Amino acid sequence: MQKGKLYLIPVPLAEGAEKSSYTMIHHDIINTIAEYVVENEKTARRFLKTAGLTIPQSELIIHDYGKHTREKMDYNLVFANVKKGKDIGLMSEAGCPGIADPGADVVAEAHRRGVQVIPMVGPSSILLALMASGFNGQKFTFHGYLPIDKVDRAKRIKDLENQSAREKLTQIFIETPFRNNQLLAELLRVAKPSTKLCVAANLTGADEVIMTKTIGEWKNTTLELHKIPAIFLLFA
């Protein structure tokens, strides 16, 4: 019997962005799948509804891959029906599964089991920010989170800035939303006035903000980022 497939299904990045976050193929695919691995069940069920799910949600099988359960994930259970020829979907809390997302472990397990993995088109905050930054899109690195310790973080910022200047490399990183303002302040304190910084906040949302300025220009700019999802891009 042929195995089922693992579909990687992106979900919206922001409230009210559902219609701009999926294509017509989403409607077709989600109505052939009755089993999902999700990071956030509430988010996943809401997206499926707005994307046009016709299968009764009470019939769905949902495997919780949240931070409190993923270490105990029973992959034999997750892939049991896939082994029988049924497809399964993977959704992150926001954006693309596997990109800055723990769902990458589920994808890796699928490969180990010889299950075909099919990524679907959808919003990636990292790529959207890079597209809109005006920085080098041919050579870039996503670093995830910078150190929390102020001394280590300042050193890391300088290292990233120096590497960017040497290699014409776009440096991309994020922060926990409630620490965004502190990170922005640290970037303005540490980086050179001529270095460019792009901040892309609440991407695809109604109040989306994408601004690219030199550090010197940023020092005369006020931007509130507290508890707002944001991407930071540095280019020296």
For the stretch 80-90, pLDDT in tens is 999 999 999 99
**CA distance between the termini of the chain:** 55
Question: Using alpha carbons only, what angle is made at residue 63 by residues 59 and 65, rounded to the nearest 5 degrees?
Answer: 150
Q: Percent of the chain at pLDDT above 90?
A: 79
Q: What is the mean pLDDT of residues 188-214?
A: 97
Mean per-residue pLDDT for 117-136? 96
**Fold annotation for 125-235:** 3.30.950
Burial class (CB in 10 A: 0-12, 13-18, 19+), 109: middle
Are 139 and 164 in contact by the 8 Å Cβ rule? The answer is no
Q: Greatest CA span in the chain, whole angstroms?
A: 64
Mean pLDDT of 205-213: 96
CATH topology for the 5-119 domain: Cobalt-precorrin-4 Transmethylase; domain 1 (3.40.1010)
Supply the pLDDT for residue 71. 79
State the pLDDT at residue 25: 85
Average pLDDT estimate for 154-161: 98
Strand 140-145, strand 88-91: pairing? unpaired
Q: What is the pLDDT of residue 207?
A: 93
Q: Is the pLDDT of residue 104 over 80?
A: yes
Could you tell me where in the chain the CATH 3.40.1010.10 domains are found?
A: 5-119
Structure tokens at 141: 């690195």
Q: pLDDT tens digits for 128-150?
A: 999 999 999 999 999 999 999 99
Kindly report, residue by residue over 27-73, the tens digit of the pLDDT.
899 999 999 999 888 888 988 988 889 999 999 999 998 777 787 88
| Alpha-helix residue ranges (DSSP H) falling in the chain | 24-30, 41-50, 75-78, 80-83, 104-112, 125-133, 150-167, 180-190, 215-218
> Mean pLDDT lowest for which of 35-39, 67-71, 118-122, 156-160?
67-71
Least confident of 20-24, 111-115, 165-169, 212-216: 20-24
Between CA 88 and CA 106 the distance in angstroms is: 11
